[in-house]
Chain A
């Protein structure tokens, strides 16, 4: 392969690069999606294998899946319901609170999980070549699976605890809310994963943001009653989790059709967040293996 015109200390290698590609480059969007589809079994197996590992070292194990939101709900009930009395004027406050705590928990855990998903999956990322989006998607799937038992407990409780919620025809629409929230959560995980990987400091600010989100979503009180400034209220009503909670409470507790604006806002978030989040995550594909 070497030519004769060069000095003896130089070895010229002519490399035919027609079969070669630069290493570590992210593939085009289309082939990325195709590769990701090829890893669907991995996403499934990974989320199943890691579901419940967070509570593995505890005595009560899987109980904490519902134990934690229950304790949250109890705390809020004591402070906001009994002590501060914000429950006045809210019909079926216990049901109101339960729906708030359980459904908000799904989104906030997606956010917190997404912030740590790339660092906890770094062994897999460094060990194998696969589209990295498989890791956050597996987390989103895992969170969705652990929502199953939680939803059962939530529904059981709002039926059992007085004043009992009445099963109505509106309950049939409730799964649609879950689908929309689940889609939104996928986007949250993807955004949180890349953002915290690029700027690790965000992980420290996450707690503050979660709390702000909690209070801004009307988990334990009704936002409409406390916020009087019209602009602030309008902003608060753009919050997708606020929409989820309002719609769910209307459907499950109050047996009425929720406002169309709420539906539209939630739908917009549920479509835009995962799509943009996926594009955003894909663009950072080359960064995730670095130390």
Chain B
């Protein structure tokens, strides 16, 4: 592995050790294809296409945002998802969150995942405090419970007096921290974070990491999307690398993040041959996952009948 990671000094601290438990999310042969409008000519030059363009109905192309991805996430794991912009990371997360529907394949989970997206403000007109209360109530808390949890949420968010200001005046980092604090207060079994924590400063990052460790210790699973390999290395135990919707590598966070970093560094330097080689070697190392679903009760019956 060291040959793929020549550029990274070994300074990162690994996340806290938590034993890995039962599966919480099962992603089986998942593909998401979009039909998106595109000005790109499909080359057919046929009249219907031209006519439709003239009428302002643009042609469409199919984008394979996620292509045949399989993996199983377990309790106690913090799984990083790396990849360059547009590689399907966010789409994968949104499908796991149930906000998007898969074209093929399926996603099973032990509970409804909590999703933290990139959009910072919930209700821009309302103050941070009102947003916290509203968020807690939306997650099914009673007003009394919400009142009890609010101070805790504000502590984790650590944005001080800004909680009384409308959320539209927040910086993206402040908004993201507040949203993380709200989501984490629910102690979700499955937490999906899309680039949300990359913007925190040192003090708030520490509090967020602490809260993430707590979630994992309570048999939770965390997914963290980032194109910053450093963040993944610091916060995750395992990482998967998506490239153009394809699963390139799935392994320990350090290994995957470093391979990805080495690849990205070469792409940035214009060393496309080395980059392609890195990609190829990772693909070769990847052990494709075959997910088999079985129901304990169902299997029991099957055994006796055969």
Contacts and interface: CB of A to CB of B under 8 A. Distances in A.
Interface of A: 6, 8-25, 35, 38-39, 41-42, 45-46, 49-50, 53, 56, 123-124, 126-130, 134, 286, 289-291
A91 to B, nearest CB: 45
B294 A15 contact: yes
B115 A17 contact: no
A41 B143 contact: yes
Interface stretch (B38-46, B120-128, B154-162): B120-128
Nearest to A19: B110
B293 A124 contact: no
Interface stretch (B47-55, B80-88, B130-138, B207-215): B130-138
B296 to A, nearest CB: 5
A15 B96 contact: no
A130 B288 CA distance: 35
Contacts of A42: 134, 137-138, 140
Given A13-B291, A24-B98, A290-B101, A49 B130 contact: yes
B287 A11 contact: yes
A123 B119 contact: yes
Given A127-B117, A130-B138, 13 more contacts: A9-B287, A13-B291, A15-B26, A18-B296, A18-B297, A22-B106, A22-B108, A22-B109, A23-B112, A23-B113, A42-B134, A126-B115, A128-B114
B109 A23 contact: yes
B295 A129 contact: no
A8 B287 contact: yes
Q: Top 8 nearest A-B pairs by Cβ distance? A: A24-B98, A289-B99, A23-B98, A42-B137, A20-B108, A128-B138, A11-B287, A129-B112
Nearest to A290: B100
Nearest to B285: A9
B125 A56 contact: yes
Nearest to A17: B293
Nearest to A128: B138
Contacts of A45: 133-134, 137, 143
A283 B183 CA distance: 27
Given A14-B294, A23-B96, A289-B99, A50 B123 contact: yes
Contact of B122 (A20, A127, A290, A291): A127
A50 B294 CA distance: 47
8 contacts: A13-B26, A14-B294, A15-B72, A21-B109, A35-B140, A42-B134, A42-B138, A126-B117
Contacts of B109: 20-23
Of B22, B123, B143, most buried by chain A (CB within 10 Å of CB) is: B123
A127 B295 contact: no
A87 to B, nearest CB: 41
Contact of B291 (A15, A126, A127, A130): A15
Contacts of B100: 24, 289-291
Given A13-B290, A15-B294, A127-B115, A39 B140 contact: yes
B interface bracket (residues with beta carbon within 8 Å of A) = 35 or more
B292 interface: yes
Q: Is chain B's interface secondary structure helix, strand, loop, or mixed overall?
A: mixed
A170 B291 CA distance: 70
Nearest to A46: B134
B169 interface: no
Nearest to B28: A15
Contacts of B116: 127
Contacts of A16: 22-23, 294-296
Contacts of B143: 41, 45
Given A49-B130, A127-B115, A128-B139, A17 B287 contact: no
A39 B112 contact: no
A39 B292 CA distance: 36
Nearest to A127: B122
Given A9-B288, A17-B26, A21-B109, A130 B101 contact: no
A19 to B, nearest CB: 5
B142 interface: yes
A45 B100 CA distance: 28
A12 B72 CA distance: 10
A19 B97 CA distance: 17
Interface in B159-207: 179, 183
Nearest to B297: A18
Contact of B140 (A21, A38, A291): A38
A53 B290 contact: no
A39 B287 contact: no
Contacts of B290: 6, 10-13
B101 A124 contact: no
A128 B161 CA distance: 25
B149 interface: no
B5 interface: no
A102 B169 CA distance: 36
Contact of A15 (B97, B99, B288, B293): B293
A265 B108 CA distance: 47
A53 B125 contact: yes
A53 B123 CA distance: 11
Contacts of B103: none
A286 B286 CA distance: 34
